[in-house]
């Protein structure tokens, strides 16, 4: 699956986009975020407050309990500030 | 019904003309242009860089545009949103709604920019003037402005 | 704060640029353009001639413009209204309101055109297509749109 | 005083603008309109329904009971249809 990070999530994780395999036991976005937090302090810090994070799965808005099968494009980003 | 995401500037008059010419059913065209404001105070430049999510941005703008066209009797509509580095006074976004009736043009245009602000994946990184930069925080007033349209079907403006 | 009454057409983009350039406090510009709609049906051309009351027109437009500036925190505003013979698709009127805040720009622009419709001394003589012409009648919906702003001080949009 | 007529009031009276002296006994707009109606059938017809007429005195909106002194600019016209 593809994981994308934008704005300060991109800066704090140091990653814009990465390809990963769905980790064992991960069934939804919440599980993916928990798994990502275990990858290192920069991830743990960036993803600490999920209330500050917006989620898109396959370019549609999603929530923590949105299911993941492994072939999705998951994006994590802060609330939008365009316009 | 058309959306564009681009680095380049836009020409409001030319966009309005291209969108509406030849359509004799249009009675009113409302347009909104968002500019980079100088929030600077003593910090000097308030230039900013707009980041976005290519692919999803276009998709969300098209969804918002379709919603406006479903709610109001529009003859034409357009959203143009820029990304990249912008300076104070630069144009950021253009929204146009054209309708036989002026109230529909106003409401649809206002709806488009309010929804865009909270639903289109753009993020502003503001230069603080000391070589540093900070991510602009989302404002509660933008959420409130967007929410205002949730229960509103827009039919009252169709006359 | 500026008003013009003229026979000539106007260029929306150029008017917005001239009105707002160099002002870094402007965050949003709302503009409205009214066009001659083809109400024709089978009657062919729906060209019209706009008559006005020179002197009073400018005075009323300036009064309406001043009222908008008193109600909303505007950085710039403009009303341009044409007179003379106009054809379907032609531009009749342009209203622009620029403010630090987009809600104020939208409300002030909407207010300006709503008030102008019922308070500025213009009259439309519509060609009926058979060589005859009829005076367009005032619409109750325009009175209602104007009245909507009577009890509204506009302060809610000042944020 | 100057009297102006616009739109169908201009067409029906056949006059766009005229200079008249304040007629004897006329003290307000209502009196002026009554006096004008006596000038001929085209005036009587054009001014028959005062509810369909808007009034300006010295380029400000006025009413039937607005006073006239003799040096005003009085305009009579239908409801406006600009914009």
Chains B and C touch (3+ CB pairs under 8 A): yes
In the beta sheet, which residues pair with residue D55? D62, D76
* pLDDT beyond 60 at C8: yes
pLDDT level of residue C129 (50, 70, 90 thresholds): confident
Q: For the residues of A35-63, what is the DSSP string, one character each?
A: HHHTT-HHHHHHTS-GGG-EEEETTEEE-
Q: Does the distance separating the beta carbons of C53 and D59 come in below 8 Å?
A: yes
Distance CA D42, CA D49 (A): 13
8 Å CB contact between C77 and C1: yes
Give pLDDT, residue B155: 47
- Classify the C-alpha dihedral A44-A49-A54-A57 as positive or negative: positive
Domain-embedded: residue B159: no
Distance CA C125, CA C84 (A): 10
Domain-embedded: residue B140: yes
Domain-embedded: residue B154: no
Q: Please report, rounded to a whole number, the percentage of residues in chain D having pLDDT higher than 90.
A: 100
Q: Which of C53, C117, C135 sits opposite D8 (nearest CB)?
A: C135
Give pLDDT, residue D18: 97
Give pLDDT, residue B41: 56
Give pLDDT, residue C45: 60
* Tens-place pLDDT, residues B12-58: 999 999 999 999 999 999 999 999 988 765 555 679 999 999 999 99
Give pLDDT, residue C39: 72
8 Å CB contact between B48 and B124: yes
Q: Which residue has the tokens 């999803």?
A: B56
Query: With an 8 Å Cβ cutoff, is C100 touching chain B?
Result: yes
Residue D23: DSSP 8-state: P
- The Cβ-side half-sphere exposure at D26, using a 13 Å CA radius, reads 23
CA angle A8/A13/A16 to nearest 5° reads 80
Of A10-19, C125-134, D58-67, where does mean pLDDT reach its minimum? C125-134
> Could you say which residues of chain B have pLDDT below 70?
40-45, 151-159
Domain-embedded: residue B12: yes
Q: Does the distance separating the beta carbons of B13 and C12 come in below 8 Å?
A: yes
Single out the residue of A75, C36, C53, A35 nearest to residue D54, CA to CA. Answer: C53
Q: Which of B51, B55, B125 sits opposite A59 (nearest CB)?
A: B55
- pTM higher than 0.90 for the full model? yes
Query: Within 10 A of B45 (CB to CB), how many other CB atoms are there?
Result: 13
Query: Within 10 A of B29 (CB to CB), how many other CB atoms are there?
Result: 26
The tokens describing B11, both together, are: 């020409």
Question: Which SS3 state, helix, strand or coil, does residue D32 take?
Answer: helix
Give pLDDT, residue C152: 53
* Tens-place pLDDT, residues A19-67: 999 999 999 999 999 999 999 999 999 999 999 999 999 999 999 999 9
Give pLDDT, residue B159: 40
pLDDT level of residue C154 (50, 70, 90 thresholds): very low
Q: Which of D4, D8, D80 sits opposite C120 (nearest CB)?
A: D80
**Domain tally, chain B:** 1
pLDDT level of residue C58 (50, 70, 90 thresholds): very high
Q: For the residues of B104-151, what is the DSSP string, one character each?
A: HHHHHHHHHHHHHHHHS-EEEEEE-SSS-EEEPPP-HHHHHHHHTTTT
Single out the residue of B19, B104, B118 nearest to residue B64, CA to CA. Answer: B118
Domain-embedded: residue B47: yes
- Residue C100's alpha-carbon distances to B35, B113, B158, C25, D51, in angstroms, are 9, 15, 30, 6, 43
Contacts of A48 (CB under 8 A, 6+ apart): A37
Closest alpha carbon within chain D to C118: D80
Domain-embedded: residue B97: yes
In the beta sheet, which residues pair with residue C82? C6
Q: Per-domain residue ranges for chain A?
A: 2-77
* pLDDT beyond 50 at C155: no
Give pLDDT, residue B158: 42
Q: Please report, rounded to a whole number, the percentage of residues in chain D having pLDDT higher than 70.
A: 100
Residues of A in contact with B121 (CB under 8 A): 6, 56, 75, 77, 80, 82
Average pLDDT over residues D59-68: 98
Give C128 or B70, the one with higher predicted confidence: B70
Give pLDDT, residue B63: 97
Single out the residue of C71, C75, C69, C87 nearest to residue C19, CA to CA. Answer: C75
Distance CA C62, CA C78 (A): 10
Query: With an 8 Å Cβ cutoff, is B118 touching chain A?
Result: yes
Q: For the residues of C96-147, what is the DSSP string, one character each?
A: EEEESSHHHHHHHHHHHHHHHHHHS-EEEEEE-SSS-EEEPPP-HHHHHHHH
The CATH number given to whatever domain includes residue C138 is 3.90.1170.40
The tokens describing C140, both together, are: 């109750």
Give pLDDT, residue B106: 98
Distance CA C32, CA C112 (A): 10
Give pLDDT, residue B105: 98
Give pLDDT, residue C130: 81
For C136, the domain range is 3-149
- Residue B65's alpha-carbon distances to B23, B60, B72, B75, B113, in angstroms, are 19, 8, 11, 12, 10
Domain-embedded: residue B157: no
Give pLDDT, residue A1: 97
Give pLDDT, residue A7: 98
Q: Does the distance separating the beta carbons of A83 and B53 come in below 8 Å?
A: no
Domain-embedded: residue B57: yes
Give pLDDT, residue C159: 40
Question: Which SS3 state, helix, strand or coil, does residue C87 take?
Answer: coil
Q: Looking at the domain that runs over A2-77, which CATH code has it been given?
A: 3.10.20.30
Strand order in the sheet with B122-127: B84-86, B48-52, B122-127, B133-135
């Amino acid at each position: 699956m593809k994981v994308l990070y934008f704005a300060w999530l991109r800066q704090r994780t140091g990653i814009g986009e990465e390809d990963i395999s769905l980790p064992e036991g991960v069934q939804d976005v919440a599980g993916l975020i928990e798994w990502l937090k275990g990858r290192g302090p920069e991830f743990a810090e960036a993803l600490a407050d999920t209330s500050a994070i917006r989620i898109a799965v396959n370019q549609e808005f999603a929530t923590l309990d949105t299911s993941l099968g492994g072939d999705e494009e998951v994006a994590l980003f802060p609330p939008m500030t365009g316009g | 019904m058309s959306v564009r995401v681009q680095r380049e500037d836009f020409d409001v008059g030319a966009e309005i003309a291209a969108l509406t010419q030849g359509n004799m059913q249009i009675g009113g065209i409302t347009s909104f242009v968002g500019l980079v404001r100088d929030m600077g105070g003593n910090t000097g430049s308030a230039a900013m860089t707009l980041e976005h999510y290519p692919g999803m941005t276009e998709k969300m703008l098209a969804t918002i545009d379709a919603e406006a066209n479903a709610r109001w009797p529009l003859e034409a509509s357009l959203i143009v949103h820029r990304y990249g580095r912008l300076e104070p006074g630069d144009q950021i976004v253009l929204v146009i709604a054209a309708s036989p009736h002026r109230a529909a043009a106003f409401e649809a245009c206002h709806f488009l920019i309010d929804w865009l602000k909270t639903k289109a994946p753009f993020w502003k990184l503001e230069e603080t003037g000391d070589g540093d930069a900070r991510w602009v925080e989302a404002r509660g007033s933008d959420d409130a402005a967007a929410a205002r349209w949730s229960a509103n079907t827009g039919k009252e403006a169709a006359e």
